[in-house]
Chain A
């Protein structure tokens, strides 16, 4: 097989990574942007989403699509509720102090991880995809009779993988619409701009914070539900999404949603391509190197505004 089909395959894998990463990172970016706190437990909310999806699909049984459909709605809601609870009981009491919040969310990370280990166990569990038709991808080749379409063996994807990409695009558009066009989005943006003035104009900032923290966690959980039929659920699966989300959020510009999405596509695609042609470790090394370069030459991120 020539290089071309490999490249398509790698880009497709990369696009799935990018889609899931964009959802996860936008959640982290939203929390950082509005609340100015760093949530180290973000990856654990991702993991909880996958584990709860496994649990729900197992409980409901029946055709995979039904259980998965329920999990797609219920798991993010449950994880969001857990995050709101954590916000109201922990972060609010720390007055959202940036340093103390980092320490507190590190604690939260271990609590969630250990509780999951104790209840869910150390094994990885699969979730059946709701649909999984194999789709072959054609390739053009120059044969005896000129250009012809061929169907190289191994070049293909599944309908589910394409659906993951589509779903991520739809959800991201929804988040953008909510921020830009709705009343609650306006309140969030005002809170992000100036917390004290938001209070002085009647915005219940604490409720906005709880909502944003819950939404951020729900987005991570949603990303995990989407990926779990491809990747399996495991209690330690939160590490990579956390690292990659941080990379994406820093490259994209802290708190900038469009920047976060662009950076997620960049990192996701290059991660997919480099992983296929070289090794996943090299992909992570290069991404981390990119972060260092961005921090040195453009500390506000590719899309961040200067001077905040």
Chain B
């Protein structure tokens, strides 16, 4: 395998909205998982986080949401340190979270799940209509309980619930896990649409091909540490670097 020069990242565009992790250390109880992890996602950009199982991708998202406390470091949204806020204030600042495994409010109906998304940032009825236009299937299932939806519909609902916040930043943790190609494509289109409206998107994904077709930049992580960050363009041209970090 010939060595490839690691491409330089695009310089950050100052002034634009962004989500930034500054050397965060975090874990569960005393077990540290994340070590000095730094990341930066610009507004209108898709940053993809790649890493093996157990690398700490989900933990990163939970740390951003304030669901696990930071040992040190900071999470900045638009320059504001949100890591000091109580956890329920984090989404209210404009972060939509689509967790791994969907984690819907299962006993609640589609309508109620969306209502909770709307309440977080006091979004209005127009937001609901916009979101339902993105996922017309949810309109048909509106009074159905979340646990009775199909896997694909559940993922739509998880995505729709997060979009109901009108997020400035969106965290997606393996949104295409276990979905058929047409459903993956639908999710992909929504992500791209969100990028166009200027949302900062942090995407965790196992399927490298799916990632490379939408990502602007790719960040690799290993054992809770951030590794190289590269333009997706370079990876599309040269696959070998991907194998180095996520190959089996």
Contact = CB atoms under 8 A, between A and B. Distances in A.
Given A183-B119, A190-B116, A196-B67, A202 B105 contact: no
A199 B67 contact: yes
Interface in A171-200: 183, 186-187, 189-190, 193-194, 196-200
A200 B116 contact: no
A201 B108 contact: no
A201 B99 contact: no
**Contact residues on A (Cβ < 8 Å of other chain), bracket:** 10 to 19
B16 to A, nearest CB: 25
B97 interface: yes
A202 B112 contact: no
B88 A194 contact: no
Given A183-B119, A186-B112, A186-B116, A199 B107 contact: no
A205 interface: yes
Contacts of B108: 186, 189-190, 193
Given A200-B97, A200-B99, A201-B120, A194 B105 contact: yes
Interface residues of B, number: 28
Contacts of A276: none
A55 to B, nearest CB: 38
A187 B116 CA distance: 8
Given A190-B108, A194-B105, A200 B87 contact: yes
A201 B115 contact: no
A205 B116 CA distance: 13
A109 interface: no
Interface in B108-165: 108, 112, 115-117, 119-121, 161, 165
A203 interface: yes
A153 to B, nearest CB: 53
B105 A203 contact: no
B108 to A, nearest CB: 6
Contacts of B62: 196
A203 B107 contact: no
Contacts of A121: none
Nearest to B146: A193
B18 interface: no
B91 interface: yes
A308 B92 CA distance: 30
Interface in A103-149: none
B24 interface: no
A203 B117 CA distance: 10
A69 interface: no
Given A183-B119, A186-B115, A196-B67, A201 B107 contact: no
Given A183-B119, A186-B115, A190-B116, A199 B105 contact: no
6 contacts: A183-B119, A201-B91, A201-B117, A202-B88, A203-B116, A203-B120
Interface of B: 62, 65-67, 86-92, 97, 99, 103-108, 112, 115-117, 119-121, 161, 165
Interface of A: 183, 186-187, 189-190, 193-194, 196-206
Closest 10 CB pairs of A and B: A202-B120, A199-B87, A202-B91, A193-B105, A200-B97, A202-B92, A204-B88, A190-B105, A197-B103, A200-B65
Given A194-B106, A197-B103, A202-B91, 12 more contacts: A186-B115, A187-B119, A190-B108, A196-B67, A198-B88, A200-B99, A201-B97, A202-B89, A202-B119, A204-B88, A205-B88, A206-B86
